[in-house]
Structure 1
Amino acid sequence: MSNASEGKPGISSVESVGLRPLSSLMHHDAMRQLRPITLACLTLLLEGGALMVHDQAQAQAQAQAQAQPQAAVDAPPASGGEAAGAPAAAAQGLNPVLVTGTRAKDRTLADSQVPVDVLSRDDVLRAAGADGTLAAALQALLPSFNFPRQSNSGGADHVRAAQLRGLSPDQVLVLVNGKRRHTSALVNLESKTGKGTNPVDFNTIPLSAVQRIEVVRDGAGAQYGSDAIAGVVNIILDDRRSGTELTTEAGLFHTDFAPTGRTINDGQTQSASLTHGWALGERGFLRAGLEGLHRKATNRSGLDELPSWEDSTPDNLATVGQRNYAAGDPATRQWQAFFNGAVDLQADQQLYAFGTWQERRSVGAAYYRYPDSSANLKSVYPEGYRPETTGHNRDLQLAAGLRGAWADWDYDLSLNHGRNDFDYGVRRSLNVSLGDTSPTRFHLGDFGSRLTGANLDLTRSVSLPGLTRPATLALGLEAREERFATEAGDAASYAVGTFGGPAGAQAGPGLQPEDATRLSRRVVGAYVDLSAHLTRDWEAEAALRHDHYSDFGNATTAKLSSRLALNREVALRGAVSSNFRAPSLAQRGFSFTVTDLGDGGQLSQLKTVPADSAVARYLGAQPLKAEKSRNASLGLTWQPNTQWSATLDAYTIRVKNRITLSQRISGDTLAEELASQFGVVGVDGVNFFTNALDTRTRGADLVTQWTGAGLGGQWKLSWAAAFNKTTVHLHDDANVGLEEINTLTDASPRQRHIFSAQWQSGAWTLLGRATRHGSTTRVFDFGDGFVPTQTYAAVWQLDIEGQWQVTKSLTLSLGAINATDRYPSRSTADIAYYGNFPYDVLSPIGINGAYYYARAKLAF
């Protein structure tokens, strides 16, 4: 769903054709659903739910406000059209005014009713690390955020998915300046994390564009709409009215790689960004920037032992002991740009606009084909070959709006458009069935995603009987259209030739014309939100939302949140809500074939088909339904003084009809049946999307931090931790395999701890961050009871940085990510794929080792 105020502090979206009066929605089943959620909240701690951590709050917020005093004054409200200038004073204090997760204009971090993380611009830039990307920075700063690397994972090498609270990547809503962000066009089918999803690609948003980020770690469907089951990430763009900033950075991986006994230097990275701000009148501004990045590939493959199914010919045996595979990051080149601006039309009216753009080209790795393999033609590749996947990603978001005051209302009227296009290909490949005439480079298909939305958000103060302070009433409407399309690849990429051998491009094949699709949906919705101080120490907020989807029907969600100050130091807060996620258009209509590990661990062709296709129905698939969740949270906040604060929030999230991929359906006769009955040739296995299970995620977040003087400087110390555990309940007719259950439950860490210390004195700033990544588990199901399983132990990561303010304008930094050169546990023989993949990509520490970098920033 969207946010009818995805431009206002916590405004939701509206998506309903033929809306019923809002008063009639009060009697909807969603309200009755809150009763069991309330009970779940009260019993959560007694049942031993985990502790969860995070509110990157006051010390960071103070540094942010001091560095960017204009941020709250001139930025387009992050979610709701709040008047420019209103939060200025508060934003410069210890607790910034929040614009996400609430529609009240005076809600600060300290009195938030739900857990919120606030990350400053400097936080994000410092934490971006080896990737130089936004998602990598979020993982370094937020223990509840997981952004694992992928390798030899097809499209997932080019578009990586991120998780919040251990849930699926498409169960978190992403906003930019409060406006709903469009999703990636690529559906990940070969990754572990995010398999079967096409979520927002965080890395299409330039790092240099970020002013601050607010992360609401709570269900927010009634406030923002579909996808906000795990929470909301609102990226607020830079709105500084003046000044130029030039930043350059260079780095590389330097590691001692035990599996080969070598010291490796690779992954060389260079990046640069330039931003400038202009003042437009008294309050207007324009900020714009451009940045570029070039990163070489990394390779952490081991020494090949030759798979057992490959013939022991002299040429195949000659490959033993060599590094034939490539396990690591893809080579990447990208350009990005942004603008963010506003201009006053009248004293109480402002026109605003913003946009982001990216073009990215990347080259990933695929599995090696041996010289005498059936997948090779020795006349073309005498020594075998390793295909390389190619991705060309283009992304754009543009938004504009008018905000101001009319009578007793503040309004925000906006239009938002986003699009993502991904061209997928493979090079150094073959279609063996075409013989020596086969091309070696193929275009595998085109993917496109579109989102266009219009929002009207209204807020005003209202006096209610019995209340000493005015309440805040918010109303909103949204209309949205979504589109998804795929186009076929080169004919040679899927052709079935006459020379025998496997058909289609190796590391493909391409998308076939009959699999190409064009889908669209229209969404209309409305919301109402009321926030009030019931007493001096007790405040509450209630939200109700209804959405209508043209392709699957209606959804009504509700949320109640509250905060009670027990005394000046301690407060109790909590929330209960119902949320939902509509099946994405890609999940409804996507069809594609990938090369994956099949029976016995051999490479084979796996075709994903829509749930309502003839093939899927033949295999027992049912039409997809929306996911529905019930969320409950209960937390304590403690701030004994201005130097020390701590928060603890426990939660439970129950998701009904969770969408996942079915298990791989294969067998000796399946290929024949597919060819004879449906004309599908060259496919060894099939899967499809299904609502075959329910999940329950229980966890907790803990954040504590202290600021003070010592050793001649100023200190900032913090400990943030996240704990979660997901359990699965399979439906009676479930067709979900062990690998998919593993993906949902323990393929991501159940806990992470981040300890950070920063010391600043004069021109020097030193930063140290120690992160403990929890254990992860990998499960493969190769059939016939062969289920290799391994749990990778928890691992510590140390990041350090030193910064020197050379002059008022010039700052130099040196740092290291994973400075102690740590790796995950070594994979067992059954999982290491005959020595070629000695480390698994599941652990957030990655498989690249230590990364060293230098940065220079010139600001004037």
Structure 2
Amino acid sequence: MHRTFAPKKQFLALTIASLFASSASVAQTVSNDPSATVVVTGTRVANRTALDTAAPVDIISADTLKASGSTEMNQALSVALPSLNFPRPGLADGTDTIRPATLRGMAPDQTLVLVNSKRRHASALVNVNGTIGRGSAAVDMNTIPTAMVRTIEVLRDGAAAQYGSDAISGVVNIRLRTNRDGGEATVSYGARESEYDIVASPTPAGATWAPPASRKRSDGETLTVSLWKGLSLGEDGYLTLAAEVKDQKRTERGGWDFRQQYPLVNGAFDPREATINRFNAWYGEPEMEQATVFANAGYNLGSNVKLYGWASYQKRDARSAGFFRRALQDQNIISIYPNGYLPIIAPSVDDYSATGGVSWIMGEWDMDASLGYGKNKMAFTIENTLNRSIGPSSKTEFEAGGFSYDQLVLNLTGVRSVPVASLASPLNVAVGAEARREGYELFAGEPDSYRHGGVTLANGTPAPPGAQVFPGFRPANESNTHRTAIGAFVDLEANLTKELLASVAVRGEHYSDFGESLAGKFAMRYDFNKAFALRGSVQNGFRAPSPQQQNFTTTSTNFINGVPFEITTFKPNDPVAVALGAKPLDAEKSLNVSLGAVMRFGGLNVTVDAYRIDIDDRIILSENLTATNVRDFIRAQGFIGVGGGRFFINGVDTSTRGVDVVFNWPMNLGEAGKFDFTVAGNFTDTEVTKVPVTAQLSALSPAPSLFDRLNVLSLEQGQPENKINANVNWKLGQWGATFRATRYGKVLSPGTTAALDFTMGAQTVVDLEARYAVTPKLNVAVGADNVFDEYPESLPPALNTTGNAAFANYAPFGRSGRFIYARASYSF
């Protein structure tokens, strides 16, 4: 059942009639004073300041991003915004390389990311492992170098009616530099200096080895070199160039592997058991080499006609690990790896984009037209591994295939002011249309990466096939699909009275693969006086199923009692998935309600915004359906050799309630210097109110769950229940400093049963940075993130059965410990 807002002919007529559309926002000068900072996100009225909007907007400056030890965009944002979380999972295949962020406790793909108010393309990776964001394919904001950023505006409010699909929890708008001159070169270097405790683990009976009490680490060395330069084009045109190179070494925070490693020798432990290095896991930050170039340009043709455009390219080569394969395991061949091996997943990511447009004046309309293209490709190489089923002749490195996603977007927008005698301000009218084409391609790896070579184990059972840790994609998995979407909107905003601001937006979209969606938003703000205002909004929204969710598939062969079965992540339209009850994916539907207050007490600014987000038919990745009765049911439908699998399905309903609170107080204390105090907090609670079922699976006994307690609890308690950030910036003459403390509330790492649940208590992480201007052009800084070397609580042995994963992937600030760094910047 699809919602429709008009017959298709009327929809197309509205699209054609609305070819004057939105989002054509002129860049404004940004002030350090939030009460005077002009925003372009969430409003299409020129010169609307951050504290005068009808919805909460955070503004993150380039200096704020810079005053962080990390050059990752997501990490810098996570410590600046309490409502944004950036968990850092490990042992999660491609998710180690492209790690998504979340806003207001929602899924990563429920936040829309814009660059200069234009939609940014998503990554090709769909997260299918047990991490936050399982089943989502989100934008990789780390493809944008911080050197190219002027400001980032974060709209903490649903905005599907204004911007389209994905804007359920909010919008992140990255505004690029537009410098005509000047530039800056920056070099930063840092490393992890850390120590963590080792949890005692049981050892095999009769063993003589025992773990140390703690482990000191000096690793994670990260060198980042960046440059931006502004050039003039004509009298007022600009060309701003940026480049960044990053070299990051891995961190190792694995536990001590207490297990027996070698086969017994004459019934006794192999002597090597006492000497082998049992810190055999790369559980931490991945190795990464990354190079990025970015250009942003604008040129005035005269007669109010301006050209603009930007382009980027990033190459990222990463290496992370899976679980260690011991010498005695069936997955090993002693002649190849006599001491066992650690398989390495080495993705190579190519990301590029280009957007160009023109703005002009047509009568009373400020017009804007743009065309943008972006593509993200991820190809996997699996190193230090083998295909056990091939035997001793197996290769140890395989090309495993990969996938790509691309997006082409055409916008035509127009904005004008219409004087209305009965209103206290002109009526701002924005109308527009967008056409979008999305593509998804999945390509196979080399045959040895997935095939079964026919070798059997000593007990006569077939050896496990495919490259260990990551079997390659098969030709049967390959796909190359596209879809189109067209949409139109109308956005109106005006002061009904001097005190009362109101805005309304309506947007309709038609997708070639699932039908139509309609979104509307109504927002108001009432200023009782200059010191106090109330604001609120109500809206419905949607998120279209992504091509990644509709088309990702992979297959592996599992032997059950010696019989081979194909275990597959099925497309929703695959005949096996349909037999299990899968249906074509539909859009997620949301209802957002918010109410907030803006208060000014002299120099102190306070905002409080409460919200509720109800989402119906969330798209999730089902459980692995491999029980015996499922296999029997599949075989009864005529599918031989299929051992089950999983698929994407609509059907989870959630309700999220929360509140954001922000205090900002700039102070000038004369000889003591200038201070900027910010305290901000996010408090969020999510409840799963419905889980999906199908008639086919419900008829089985026992009926398998499509979405079990582990995944339910991941949505409800897998992110901090609250997050509070206190930040102080200080400047006096040539000196400056930043102090930041972030308190993460408790987080649950859920298990399949209550006995396996693990709760991490609240923890506070402190960051410090000191800066000194050696000359007006040369600035240096030293600092430390996580000064006190805090770690999440260690998993008990019952939840860390290998010793490899000492900390839960749900830990909200990762598990790599203290990072000490130095930075030098030279302006020219």
> TM > 0.5 between the two?
yes
Instruction: State yes or no: 1:726 paired with 2:653.
Output: no
Return the letter of the residue paired with 1:762: G
Return the letter of the residue paired with 1:111: D
**What is the distance in 1 between the residues matched to 2:568 and 2:422?**
62
1:823–1:593 distance in 2 versus 1, CA, 3 Å: farther
Instruction: State yes or no: 1:440 paired with 2:402.
Output: no
Range with bigger deviation, 583-592 or 645-654: 583-592
Alignment-derived partner of residue 113 in structure 1: 54
Paired residue for 2:608, among 644, 648, 670?
648
Alpha-carbon distance, 1:279 to partner: 1.7
Alpha-carbon distance, 1:19 to partner: 2.0
Are the counterparts in 2 of residues 254 and 850 from structure 1 also a CA contact under 8 Å? Answer: yes
Matches within 5 A, 1:272-291: 272-291=225-244
Paired residue for 2:348, among 392, 401, 411?
392
Alpha-carbon distance, 1:583 to partner: 0.5
Instruction: State yes or no: 1:742 paired with 2:742.
Output: no
**What is the distance in 2 between the residues matched to 1:186 and 1:755?**
34
1:678–1:237 distance in 2 versus 1, CA, 3 Å: farther
Return the letter of the residue paired with 1:278: L
Instruction: State yes or no: 1:503 paired with 2:465.
Output: yes
Alpha-carbon distance, 1:393 to partner: 0.4
Alignment-derived partner of residue 577 in structure 1: 539
**What is the distance in 2 between the residues matched to 1:746 and 1:309?**
40
**What is the distance in 2 between the residues matched to 1:256 and 1:325?**
16
**What is the distance in 2 between the residues matched to 1:691 and 1:17?**
28
Moved over 3 A (4+): 15-18, 20-26, 87-94, 307-321, 593-596, 604-607, 668-681
**What is the distance in 1 between the residues matched to 2:235 and 2:16?**
45
Matches within 5 A, 1:347-746: 347-500=303-456, 501-593=463-555, 607-641=568-602, 643-668=603-628, 686-710=645-669, 712-731=672-691, 733=693, 735-746=706-717
User: 2:125 is paired with a residue of what secondary structure?
Assistant: coil
Instruction: State yes or no: 1:123 paired with 2:123.
Output: no
1:151–1:319 distance in 2 versus 1, CA, 3 Å: farther
Which has the higher relative contact order, 1 or 2, with Cα contacts under 8 A spaced 6 or more apart? 1
Matches within 5 A, 1:341-352: 341-352=297-308
Alignment-derived partner of residue 102 in structure 1: 43
Are the counterparts in 2 of residues 253 and 848 from structure 1 also a CA contact under 8 Å? Answer: yes
Superposed CA deviations along residues 6-46 of structure 1, whole A, max 9, x for unmatched, are xxxxxxxxx988725549999xxxxxxxxxxxxxxxxxxxx
Alignment-derived partner of residue 216 in structure 2: 263
Are the counterparts in 1 of residues 15 and 488 from structure 2 also a CA contact under 8 Å? Answer: no
Are the counterparts in 2 of residues 248 and 270 from structure 1 also a CA contact under 8 Å? Answer: yes
Superposed CA deviations along residues 771-809 of structure 1, whole A, max 9, x for unmatched, are 00111111232xxx6861111111110000000011010
Alpha-carbon distance, 1:82 to partner: 3.6
1:252–1:535 distance in 2 versus 1, CA, 3 Å: same
Are the counterparts in 2 of residues 189 and 594 from structure 1 also a CA contact under 8 Å? Answer: no
Alpha-carbon distance, 1:482 to partner: 0.4
**What is the distance in 2 between the residues matched to 1:842 and 1:803?**
33
Alpha-carbon distance, 1:844 to partner: 2.1
1:376–1:792 distance in 2 versus 1, CA, 3 Å: same
Alignment-derived partner of residue 81 in structure 1: 24
**What is the distance in 2 between the residues matched to 1:89 and 1:119?**
11
**What is the distance in 2 between the residues matched to 1:82 and 1:498?**
62
User: 1:566 is paired with a residue of what secondary structure?
Assistant: strand
Superposed CA deviations along residues 587-620 of structure 1, whole A, max 9, x for unmatched, are 1111024799x99xxxx99632112212212323
**What is the distance in 1 between the residues matched to 2:140 and 2:796?**
32
Alignment-derived partner of residue 762 in structure 2: 794
1:788–1:606 distance in 2 versus 1, CA, 3 Å: farther
Alignment-derived partner of residue 72 in structure 2: 133
**What is the distance in 2 between the residues matched to 1:321 and 1:185?**
37
User: 1:123 is paired with a residue of what secondary structure?
Assistant: helix
Q: TM-score, normalised by structure 2?
A: 0.90
Return the letter of the residue paired with 2:606: A
**What is the distance in 2 between the residues matched to 1:686 and 1:717?**
52
User: 2:770 is paired with a residue of what secondary structure?
Assistant: strand
Return the letter of the residue paired with 2:244: E
Instruction: State yes or no: 1:197 paired with 2:136.
Output: yes
Alignment-derived partner of residue 165 in structure 1: 104
Are the counterparts in 1 of residues 262 and 326 from structure 2 also a CA contact under 8 Å? Answer: no
**What is the distance in 1 between the residues matched to 2:412 and 2:17?**
20
Alignment-derived partner of residue 207 in structure 2: none
Alignment-derived partner of residue 287 in structure 2: 331
Alignment-derived partner of residue 742 in structure 2: 771
**What is the distance in 2 between the residues matched to 1:170 and 1:678?**
36
Paired residue for 2:11, among 19, 28, 32?
19
Paired residue for 2:116, among 165, 169, 177?
177
**What is the distance in 2 between the residues matched to 1:457 and 1:844?**
40
1:724–1:319 distance in 2 versus 1, CA, 3 Å: farther
1:497–1:444 distance in 2 versus 1, CA, 3 Å: same
Alpha-carbon distance, 1:673 to partner: 7.8
Are the counterparts in 2 of residues 416 and 453 from structure 1 also a CA contact under 8 Å? Answer: yes
**What is the distance in 1 between the residues matched to 2:296 and 2:720?**
37
Return the letter of the residue paired with 2:269: P
User: 1:411 is paired with a residue of what secondary structure?
Assistant: strand
Superposed CA deviations along residues 725-778 of structure 1, whole A, max 9, x for unmatched, are 110122472621122212211111121000011111000001100000111111
Superposed CA deviations along residues 231-274 of structure 1, whole A, max 9, x for unmatched, are 00000111111112100000000011221422210000101011
Alignment-derived partner of residue 700 in structure 2: none
**What is the distance in 2 between the residues matched to 1:810 and 1:630?**
50
Return the letter of the residue paired with 1:659: I
Report how many aligned residue pairs link the two structures.
Answer: 782
1:467–1:107 distance in 2 versus 1, CA, 3 Å: same
Superposed CA deviations along residues 161-186 of structure 1, whole A, max 9, x for unmatched, are 11000100000000011110001011
**What is the distance in 2 between the residues matched to 1:273 and 1:90?**
24
Return the letter of the residue paired with 1:859: S
**What is the distance in 2 between the residues matched to 1:825 and 1:231?**
31
Matches within 5 A, 1:235-254: 235-254=174-193
User: 2:601 is paired with a residue of what secondary structure?
Assistant: coil
**What is the distance in 2 between the residues matched to 1:89 and 1:386?**
50
Alpha-carbon distance, 1:672 to partner: 8.2
Return the letter of the residue paired with 1:572: L
Alpha-carbon distance, 1:846 to partner: 1.4
**What is the distance in 2 between the residues matched to 1:253 and 1:563?**
47
RMSD after superposition: 2.8
Are the counterparts in 2 of residues 222 and 579 from structure 1 also a CA contact under 8 Å? Answer: yes
**What is the distance in 1 between the residues matched to 2:637 and 2:258?**
40
Are the counterparts in 1 of residues 477 and 555 from structure 2 also a CA contact under 8 Å? Answer: no
Are the counterparts in 2 of residues 773 and 843 from structure 1 also a CA contact under 8 Å? Answer: no
User: 2:804 is paired with a residue of what secondary structure?
Assistant: coil
Range with bigger deviation, 216-225 or 843-852: 843-852
**What is the distance in 2 between the residues matched to 1:93 and 1:610?**
47
Are the counterparts in 1 of residues 525 and 536 from structure 2 also a CA contact under 8 Å? Answer: yes
Are the counterparts in 1 of residues 262 and 273 from structure 2 also a CA contact under 8 Å? Answer: no
Gaps of 5+ in 1: 1-14, 27-77
1:678–1:846 distance in 2 versus 1, CA, 3 Å: farther
**What is the distance in 1 between the residues matched to 2:98 and 2:252?**
18
Alpha-carbon distance, 1:317 to partner: 5.3
Alignment-derived partner of residue 6 in structure 1: none
